[in-house]
Amino acid sequence: MTVSIIIKTLNEEKNIARTIEHALAALAALPGGNGAIAGEVILADSGSRDRTVEIASCYPVRIVQIEAPARPSCGIGPQLGFQYARNAFVCLIDGDMDLDPEFLPDALAWLDANAKAAGVTGHVEEMMLGNLEYTRRVQRNAPENRTGAIDRMNGGGLYRKSAIEKVGYLTDRNLHGYEEFDLGIRLRHSGFDLFRMDRRFVRHYGHNVNSYKLLLRRWKTKYLFGIGEVLRAATGKPYFGQMLKELPELKLWALVWAWILVSMGLIAFSPSHLAGLGVVILLFVAIVALMSQRKGSFSLGLYTVVAWLFHAAALPVGYCATRRDPKAWVESRPVGGQNERSQQSGPEAGMEDGPSGRAGAVGSSPRSLIG
């Protein structure tokens, strides 16, 4: 049972060498590998402008990169890698994650024993807890913290390729967020299960930047638009009602929008605009104080409230975004790497047979950051 590890990247020069070395080591540790690389590593790049591709080219991996008119998004990277993947199982990780060396054998065994399962994952260990966003993610009951049967595999995991093919595509290229949830609900609607084992899947290093700068970056890159985009993608689908029930944050964003509209009304229709503004400020301070008490920190409470406002404002913007066919071939080309198979950029490039077409099938990394 061989595995295609897809590493999705965009400007990950600080982490990519370590990520690739962990991926290669995980493949070499598979039963029957005997130290050889039992599978392939595909680096799916969304147009990095740093040294990500240059560094990755030093390793026995297949590197593919989007071409215009394709544009970067959270959904396009995994789908780009999937259309070149050749093995029966696909493991999806980010370019700032270290794959646990013992995860794949456990995950393969679990899928072998559970025929209805489309995918299995483990815990994402956050390493950058100095950032308020990742601290908030760890503290709340986020999807990536739950074990057992789950509705999505946030952070990635191991998927059965045949299950993905049954639902048409891995991830929706139009989504700048919530791509794992979209995949999860499509798989579950088709009768498949998803599961999180109570063990580590990856270490995630994330962005070591100011939390508010990260929030602004996520608006600029359209990451925050994801919830609106995923609702638009499901509109008219038979699972739309199920999606509304399974996204509890929609209730929160509705309340935030009610707060925004009430605040605008107070300022616009109060006999004194200044008095109305004063009430709005007092209401904001009261909400921040309440959240600070709940979070045990003023800085985290303030950030939580500000993040609410950003997320709520992004929802209608995402819903109104234009869409392309998510089943269409992602415009791309091989850009190098020790195991580049061909210069073809059409669908046939991912369908070649023979040992020479197996990215990561031979060789070892020229250096080691994990030994």
The DSSP result for 232-253, as a single string, is: HHHTTSTTHHHHHHH-THHHHH
Q: What is the pLDDT of residue 211?
A: 85
158 shares its domain with 297: no
- The letter for the amino acid at 76 is I
pTM of the model: 0.84
| Residues in the chain with pLDDT values less than 70 | 1, 32-37, 128-144, 207, 337-371
Within-domain flag for 223: no
Within-domain flag for 229: no
196 shares its domain with 66: yes
275 shares its domain with 341: no
| Opening angle at CA 351, ends 346 and 356, nearest 5 | 110
119 shares its domain with 105: yes
Within-domain flag for 267: yes
267 shares its domain with 329: no
Whole-angstrom Cα distance, residue 342 to residue 212?
Answer: 43
Comparing CA positions, the residue from 19, 34, 40 lying closest to residue 161 is: 40
What is the count of structural domains for the chain?
Answer: 2
Within-domain flag for 335: yes
Domain housing 182:
3-209+324-357
CB 45 within 8 A of CB 64: yes
What does the pLDDT look like over 206-251, one tens digit per residue? 767 788 998 999 999 999 999 999 999 999 999 999 999 999 999 9
CA-CA-CA-CA torsion for 150, 153, 159, 161, nearest 10 degrees?
A: 100
CATH number at residue 126: 3.90.550.10
Q: What is the pLDDT of residue 337?
A: 61
Whole-angstrom Cα distance, residue 163 to residue 40?
Answer: 19
CB 231 within 8 A of CB 243: yes
Within-domain flag for 306: yes
- The letter for the amino acid at 355 is P
125 shares its domain with 268: no
166 shares its domain with 116: yes
249 shares its domain with 309: yes
Within-domain flag for 228: no
Peptide linkage before 69 cis (omega within 30 of 0)? yes
What does the pLDDT look like over 283-332, one tens digit per residue? 999 999 999 999 999 999 999 999 999 999 999 999 999 999 999 999 99
* Residue after which a domain boundary falls, among 319, 337, 365: 319
